[in-house]
Structures are given as structure tokens and as C-alpha cells.
Amino acid sequence: MEFLEELAHIVRPPYLIVEGDTVIKDSPWGPITLATRKSQGIWFISTDSHGGFWLSPERREELPEEMKGTSFLNKSHGDEWWEEDCDAQRIASWADFMSGLPVPLQVTSRFRQLVDGD
């Protein structure tokens, strides 16, 4: 049963209905090939070449003030998209689901912590 519950949180688009009436067809990295719901209002999006987190408007409002306006893509996409190499560890730590991330993201996150001196 746990497998089916996890499968229910994975979506293979041609389009993605993320939360309620919100529809996302593309990401900053191109067409979405896979989307995995990590938490309410937080999805990990993959494309053929890259990926990152998408946050619903409600989750963006919940961001701590020190995180608002700091995503790698902030100038072009605000706090909606958080890039997998530079931002993923911050979203995962804030939302407290680091153990559920794919291993490459855990490694990238630890590398970033070491670089940042944390």
C-alpha cells in the first residue's frame, strides 16, 4: 500500500496540475518530464536536462523572510522556482524532507554546505 501512496504523488505530464487550479506546463529548464510531490505545495520537477523545486503561492508566503528573494532564479521567476544545484538543500531543509530526496541532491546539498562553511 505504501508503494501506491508514493506513486500517487508522482505525475507524468504532458501538463501538470500541481495544486488546485494551478497548471504548469513548462519550467525554467524546459518541458516537465516528471514531477514528484514532496510536500503540500512543493513539487520536485525534472526535465530532460535539469530541474528543481516549484513552490505554490501559499508555500512561498510561508518562506522565512531570510529566504525570500534569494533563489538562484529570483530575478526571472521570483520565489516560485528553486534550482536543483544551488537551491534544493535550502528548500529541503526548510520543508524538512531531506531524507526523501534522490541521492544526487543529497550529495549536492552536502557539497553546498561544505562550500558555504556550514
Tell me if the pTM is above 0.75.
no
73, β-bridge pairs: none
Beta strands in 1-118 (DSSP E): 10-11, 16-17, 23-24, 26-27, 30-31, 34-39, 42-46, 51-55, 81-83
Inter-residue contact 83 to 27 (CB < 8 Å):
no
pLDDT for residue 104: 46
Residues 6+ apart with CB under 8 A from 59: 39, 40, 41, 42, 95
pLDDT in tens, 1-52: 565 555 555 555 555 555 666 777 788 988 888 888 888 888 888 888 899 9
Is 50 exceeded by the pLDDT of residue 103? no
pLDDT for residue 30: 87
Q: Taking the domains of the chain in order of start, what are their residue ranges?
A: 2-116
